[in-house]
A and B are shown apart, each in its own frame.
Chain A
């Protein structure tokens, strides 16, 4: 009976009920959507690099080391000797290492010199590795692979020659124009800083600085023999990534590196540093959460308002129901039922439109903000949120319900028009 009356009563006030459901749905969409984006942003950020246990570089700020190695932001104070790298690489605890050498740029995009280990072992967002959309990985001295953003921005194709500028600013004063590189591969988009990198070999990085020993080009012609890969000696690196065979050894290894006698170097645990860094910038996240909470509150209030304003015009209806044997309790539950029905409908519509919205903004968020949002089923937290919204929304119906209850006690069978 209550089902039937509720259904009829709501469909009678279709438009206001619809608006009410809509406002709940909107706030549910916003709330869950913001939650997803929030989590997506955090996961995307803290998973910019995965599997790597330690990042090693010259002593300095840990944050700085993380920024220039992983995010291509800022620069190193000092380089580290190749000898140090070789020594740590030989440690029996080490499973693999990825050397990184920085310092130059291509039209504002960082040039990252590394070796084949990078293409084999580098992991991000869990277990995703570097993949090529075109071409192959660099092998020779002047081979270069570019990230998807770089390729898109300059419309580069495999085979294009490029000139790398000295230093990391976008306006190149000095160019390595005597050493032209050739694009031999383009990476698949990853929505990580990988996309904005220009990748060359360690030998390539050394080669472009031949004749630059004084800091500026000396204009000498260089014997082409010197550019042969096997003839190039790598003398220094900027930093390197380390993966250990056992995670248990990470802290100890870190301590050993921090206390390394031959050179002032340090190690950071990227997962930990990323987490710390997110926390320092994470207040935005909390503001977002608060805003979405307020939106939700407004949605719930709209139920209260819409039901409350309808109470007076429904006094007559209540008296009729009373005359037919309905108790004041019936009247009370009728309204509670109505509010819970409206919230339920709002929640369902909200979840549906959240998925709809997610579907449309996903590619945009991923390409512009590196926020990766998988379309997943509702998580247990989200179910709890929905449950709470339902309870609070139903409780919002309590106030009009109590009012109607009081009215029906007072009016009885006397119709107030």
Chain B
């Protein structure tokens, strides 16, 4: 199996001569794997995600994502890679407040031509149905509850069939019931599409949903 993410001897600090935020010897995630990345705050979680999403560039070592060596390609190529092949879900406030539910979901297809190869409107409708958002389709996202907003965020990450989904603590703002519902929906979609799923959380109880668990404090030997 090819690797979705492969970090080797990866070092990163925000300024030269300041302390290292990322110092990872080896991290491999296989294609189609669903991985739980345990990351309490202060262990370079955001930085790692920014590195794998191609927003930041490692100082040294290698960061290979979906077959591309990110340290060797330009910023705009990294932006394209992220736009085309990666879906990203934030903790909260995932949505552009002035767009409707549907507009938010199809936004990646509007930004990236390559993600809109099929009829993305039809795809958006399907996602809306499968996530139970039909009645909110033309509502302003600010009228939705946090749980509903996170489902919209998931739909947006999933549209255009990205090869990888990065979820950055998507359940931390949800209550137990909403968290369970969200996790079940995510797992259902994963069963169908088998994308690479990297799920970051400080809530270790969610570990059970995943096939593998990586603890960030253990692999990141930062200063």
How far apart are the CA atoms of A9 and B96 in the complex, in Å?
A: 9
In chain B, residues 82-102, which have Cβ atoms closer than 8 Å to a Cβ of chain A?
82-84, 88, 90-91, 93-99
Contact of B111 among A8, A11, A321, A328 (CB under 8 A): A321
Chain A neighbourhood of B147, CB < 8 A:
none
B46 and A414 within 8 A (CB): yes
Contacts of A320 in B (CB 8 A): 90, 93-96
Number of B residues near A (Cβ < 8 Å) is 32
Size class of the A contact interface (CB-based, 8 Å): 20 to 34
Since A325-B80, A330-B111, A413-B50 are in contact, a sample of 15 more A-B pairs with Cβ atoms closer than 8 Å, ordered by chain A residue number, is A1-B111, A8-B99, A11-B98, A316-B93, A317-B96, A317-B97, A320-B95, A320-B96, A321-B96, A324-B108, A324-B112, A325-B115, A327-B76, A412-B46, A412-B56
Within 8 A of B (CB), among A284-328: 316-317, 319-328
Q: How far is the CB of B117 from chain A (nearest CB, A)?
A: 15
Contact A325 B84, CB 8 Å, known A413-B49, A413-B50, A414-B46: yes
Task: Contact check, A323 vs B98: say whether CB atoms are below 8 A apart.
Answer: no
Q: A323-B53, A324-B111 are in contact. Are A9 and B98 (CB under 8 A)?
A: yes
30 contacts between A and B (CB under 8 A): A1-B110, A4-B110, A5-B96, A8-B96, A9-B98, A11-B98, A12-B97, A13-B98, A317-B97, A319-B90, A320-B95, A320-B96, A321-B96, A322-B55, A323-B53, A324-B108, A325-B80, A325-B84, A325-B108, A327-B75, A329-B76, A412-B46, A412-B55, A413-B49, A413-B53, A413-B88, A413-B168, A414-B46, A415-B93, A417-B93
Complex interface: chain B residues within 8 A of A316 (CB): 93
Q: Which residues of A contact B96 (CB under 8 A)?
A: 5, 8, 317, 320-321
The 0/1 profile, CB within 8 Å of A marked 1, for residues 107-136 of chain B is 110111001000000000000000000000
Q: Is B181 an interface residue (CB 8 A)?
A: no
Inside 8 A of B53's CB, which chain A residues have their CB?
Answer: 323, 412-413
**Chain B residue nearest to A325 in the complex (CB):** B83
Q: Are B91 and A8 in contact (CB under 8 A)?
A: no
Most B CB contacts (10 A, CB to CB) among A5, A319, A324, A330 go to A324
Most chain B beta carbons < 10 A, residue from A13, A328, A413: A413
Q: Which of B91, B95, B112 contacts A325 (CB 8 A)?
A: B112
The answer to the question of B79 belonging to the interface, with a C-beta cut-off of 8 Å to chain A, is yes
Counting chain A CB atoms within 10 Å of each CB, which of B94, B96, B112 scores highest?
Answer: B96
